[in-house]
């Protein structure tokens, strides 16, 4: 296996007071290889977006390390940090909010080129036009303002801005969840094409399993700031091992798909996600788990390999099943 592009090691991110912190991300480890796309799924508030922000160094880590090409990004400052931002970029969930309404979209692209001093000044506009074409927009519209575009077009502009610095890694924070279903497919296809052309690695944050399955090589399922299961999309969707993943899958409102994946009975979870600041003893999922046993209340299960690339954090998942 080649050296990973991004290695996240035991990362925790805490919010709020030091006495009662909100553990948004709690000891998460994973790697992303160059050109690989990794999906991060979980319900709202499980820490997916925070993890994405931590990787972008938009929020401080409590513990752990994030290494990009064997370099700890927490230590980066000034020019080195700028260099990292040239390597890793972000696509945002809200295509309306992610563009400055008082700036033409061409200016937004030029700014990305200016900040990183890419290309000679005179050629930057041509580069911006080329980026526009790469994401399937007409360069004639470079001088328009964001409110003159549709949601899908704006998301394309957001993608063009992220691509402006020619990054190796893109953190896509729910890039399609705010779009119409018909437009979602267009954007997902665009992202897949760009990945192939430019050898991009994605950290693809989403709550929609179908979306992640379409784009990703590997899926990480997150619950309450921890990764509870990881594996290839086919493995996870066909044979979810963690009870939370099973519940997540059965919640997909598609009867046929639910039957096909063998979760015929809808597995509705009891209760709510525990209060963010609550500290749960044992397995974080046990208060809502239909299979919870005494051991789950005592011991926190570690993420362990079951078979092949599969990893599950559950006492009850037998290896090799």
Instruction: Summarize as ranges the residues that interact with other proteins (CB under 8 A).
Output: 53, 56, 58, 81-82, 85-86, 89-90, 92-94, 97-104, 111-112, 115-116, 136-138, 141, 143-145, 147-150, 152-153, 156, 158, 161, 165, 186, 189-190, 193
Burial grade of 104 (CB within 10 A; 0-12, 13-18, 19 or more): middle
How many other C-beta atoms are found inside a 10 Å radius of the C-beta of residue 126? 11
Identify the helix (H) or strand (E) that includes residue 206: strand 201-206
Q: In angstroms, rounded to a whole number, what is the distance separating the alpha carbons of residues 219 and 203?
A: 10
Minimum CB distance to other proteins smaller for 85 or for 242: 85
Q: In angstroms, rounded to a whole number, what is the distance separating the alpha carbons of residues 225 and 40?
A: 11
Q: In angstroms, rounded to a whole number, what is the distance separating the alpha carbons of residues 123 and 88?
A: 23
Rounded least distance, CB 158 to other proteins, Å: 8
Rounded least distance, CB 188 to other proteins, Å: 10
Contact (Cβ atoms closer than 8 angstroms) between residue 106 and residue 113? no
Minimum CB distance to other proteins smaller for 141 or for 280: 141
Rounded least distance, CB 281 to other proteins, Å: 33
Rounded least distance, CB 56 to other proteins, Å: 5
Any residues with CB less than 8 A from the CB of 230 and at least 6 apart, and which?
30, 218, 219, 220, 221, 236, 303, 309, 310, 311
Minimum CB distance to other proteins smaller for 1 or for 101: 101
Minimum CB distance to other proteins smaller for 111 or for 217: 111
Rounded least distance, CB 145 to other proteins, Å: 6
Minimum CB distance to other proteins smaller for 78 or for 271: 78
């Amino acid at each position: 296996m080649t050296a990973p592009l991004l290695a996240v090691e035991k990362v925790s991110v805490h919010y709020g007071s030091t006495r009662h912190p909100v553990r948004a991300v709690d000891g998460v480890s994973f790697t992303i290889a160059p050109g690989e796309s990794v999906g991060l799924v979980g319900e709202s508030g499980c820490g997916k977006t925070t993890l994405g922000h931590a990787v972008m160094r938009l929020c401080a880590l409590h513990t752990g390390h994030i290494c990009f090409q064997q370099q700890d990004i927490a230590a980066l400052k000034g020019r080195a940090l700028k260099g990292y931002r040239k390597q890793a970029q972000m696509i945002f969930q809200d295509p309306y909010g992610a563009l400055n309404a008082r700036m033409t979209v061409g200016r937004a692209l030029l700014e990305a080129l200016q900040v990183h001093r890419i290309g000679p000044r005179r050629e930057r506009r041509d580069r911006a036009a080329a980026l526009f074409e790469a994401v399937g927009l007409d360069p004639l519209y470079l001088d328009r303002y964001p409110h003159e575009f549709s949601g899908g077009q704006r998301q394309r502009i957001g993608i063009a801005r992220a691509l402006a610095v020619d990054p190796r890694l893109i953190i896509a924070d729910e890039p399609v969840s705010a779009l119409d279903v018909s437009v979602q497919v267009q954007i997902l296809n665009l992202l897949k094409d760009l990945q192939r052309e430019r050898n991009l690695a994605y950290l693809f944050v989403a709550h929609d399993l179908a979306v992640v399955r379409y784009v990703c090589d590997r899926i990480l399922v997150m619950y309450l700031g921890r990764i509870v299961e990881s594996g290839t999309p086919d493995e996870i969707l066909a044979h979810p091992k963690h009870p939370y993943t099973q519940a997540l899958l059965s919640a997909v409102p598609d009867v046929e798909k639910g039957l096909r994946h063998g979760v015929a009975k809808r597995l509705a979870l009891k209760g709510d996600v525990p209060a963010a600041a609550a500290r749960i003893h044992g397995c974080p999922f046990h208060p809502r788990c239909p299979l919870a046993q005494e051991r789950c209340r005592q011991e926190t299960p570690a993420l362990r390999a079951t078979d092949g690339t599969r990893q599950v954090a559950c006492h009850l998942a037998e290896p090799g099943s």
